[in-house]
Amino acid sequence: MTSPKVRILIVEDERIIAADLEENLKDMGYEVCGITGFGEEALELAAEHRPDLVLMDIKLQGAMDGIETAAEMKARFQLPVVYLTAFSNGEILSRAEVAEPFGFLVKPFQPGELRATIHMACYKAGMEKELREAYAKLKQSLAEVKKLSGLLPICTNCKKIRDNQDYWEQVEDYISTHSEAEFTHSICPSCAKKLYPDLDICNE
């Protein structure tokens, strides 16, 4: 079974560079799911196609630049972004770091640099996705544990527990419903002596 192609969104305001990028990406085996030079349109394409990676030029047409667009993509869709820029001064790098990019390519760059950066960005994105999923599972597990925390009203005579709906149920039924525990029944030594005094079924 072959792996699905990595789907990439190109956000580049220079058409010639965007077309060259598209050709290079297809030659490398990637799928280009959209091309635009506007931040606003990039967000629309991201919402529609949910690409695996975004190649984002910092300088864009329209009201939003690449850094603002990348920040929005991270906040809305958790999409990994690799910046493309012809500028690499400290101020731009400082602003770009806010959106936590997965890579940074300074134009002009070679196809080998592009391939390596995409490969590492996809690897990092995959690891972060696994961490988010593991955290979500842990959070769910902790929520399940909390179901058995707090005060539980229990009858002093029959030992039934009162739930949130004011319904009384057997303690084993309650615990089975609110946890993954399963019950098997036995008899303790004290009860065995009381119920079966003539039988030598317990040794203390």
- pLDDT by residue (tens digit) across 113-157? 999 999 999 999 888 888 888 888 887 777 666 555 666 678 777
Q: What gap in Å lies between CA 159 and CA 68, rounded to an integer?
A: 60
- What is this structure's pTM? 0.65
Clarify whether residues 30 and 120 are in a common domain. Answer: yes
Assigned domain for 164 exists: yes
The answer to whether position 2 is within a domain reads no
Owning domain of residue 71? 7-140
The answer on 200 and 155 residing in a single domain is yes
For 43-77, the pLDDT digits (tens) are: 999 999 999 999 999 989 989 999 999 999 999 99
Asked if residue 104 and residue 60 are part of one domain, the reply reads yes
**Is position 99 within any domain?**
yes
| 145 domain residue, yes or no | no
CA atoms within 13 A on the CB side of 137: 6
Task: Mark whether 105 and 86 lie in a shared domain.
Answer: yes
Asked whether residue 160 is domain-assigned, the answer is yes
Q: What is the DSSP string of 55-95?
A: EEESS-BSS--HHHHHHHHHHHH---EEEEES---HHHHHH
pLDDT tens column, 104-115: 898 888 999 999
My answer on whether 119 and 196 are in the same domain is: no
Whether residues 132 and 192 share a domain: the answer is no
